Amino acid sequence: MSRPSSPPIAAFSRRHEQALARIGDVLIPGDDTLPSYSESGAAALAPRALAGARPVDQVMMMRLITVVGALPRPLIALMLLLIRAGLRLPGLVGAPARLLDLALKGVIMNTYYCGLDRTAPDGSSAVFQALDFRLQMHVDDEDAR
């Protein structure tokens, strides 16, 4: 039996990808060990990450990425700072900040830290190498039921 498939959302274009990479670089600019968000190529995984979301949320996400990604970098940084500041506001007052955080930080962290980048010199995940992270699991034929 093959793996169940869930097709990536078709409408996520190259322009969305570039916009997401611009936002991602503000959250993860990179340093001497971690690649920047755009260097990791993580934005290309966004359609795969969003495939399980409700269609209405997929559309909202693409709009949000387009709008925020078009802002100048200092404004993106300011916006992310304001979102972080609003996270702990109680009840509905803090809801917009938390929802924006879920949408933007959620997709950026999901695509960057999932270990699917192949940007290390040996073809493995440069992000996982920087974290020194690896999960081990021996699976034998008996498990393949």
Partner 1 sequence: MTLSRYDYIIVGSGAGGGVLAFHLSRAGKRVLVLEAGQRWQAKDYPDNELDASARLMWSGGVEPSHDASLMLMRGRVLGGGTVINQCLLDRFDSVALDDWAERSSIDSFNVTALGRHYDAVEADLSLQSIPESDWNGNARIYADGFDQLGYRRAPLRRGQSRCDVSAGNDCMRCLGGCPRSSKQSMAATFLPRAEQHGLEIVTGCHVHGVVHGSAGVTVYGRVGQEQVQFFGAQCVLAAGTLGSSRILMNSGLTHALPALGKGFFCHPQFVTFARYAEPVDAHRGSFQALKSDDPRFRAAGFKLENVFMGPVAAAYLLPGGAQMHQRLMRGYRHLACIEVAVRDVTPGRLSLGRNGQLNIRKSLGAPERRRAREGLQVIRDIYRVTGAKEVMQAPTGIGLHLMGGCAQGVQRDTSVVNPEFAVHGMPRLHVVDGSLFPSAPGINPSLTIMALAHRAAEALLGCTLPSAGIARGQSIAIAEASA
Tell me which residues touch partner 1 (CB under 8 A): 1-4, 6, 26-31, 33-34, 45, 48-54, 56-57, 77, 80-81, 84, 87-88, 90-92, 94-95, 98-99, 101-102, 105-106, 109-116, 127-128, 130-133, 135-139, 143-145
SS3 labels along 14-52: HHHHHHHHHHHHHHCCCCCCCCCHHHHCHHHHHHHHHCC
| C-alpha neighbours within 13 Å on the C-beta side of residue 14 | 0
Least distance (Å) from partner 1 to the CB of residue 122? 18
Least distance (Å) from partner 1 to the CB of residue 140? 8
Least distance (Å) from partner 1 to the CB of residue 21? 15
The rounded distance, in Å, linking the Cα atoms of 106 and 73 is 19
SS3 70: coil
* Closer residue to partner 1 in complex, CB, 71/130: 130
* Closer residue to partner 1 in complex, CB, 19/103: 103
* Closer residue to partner 1 in complex, CB, 58/66: 58
SS3 18: helix
* Closer residue to partner 1 in complex, CB, 71/98: 98
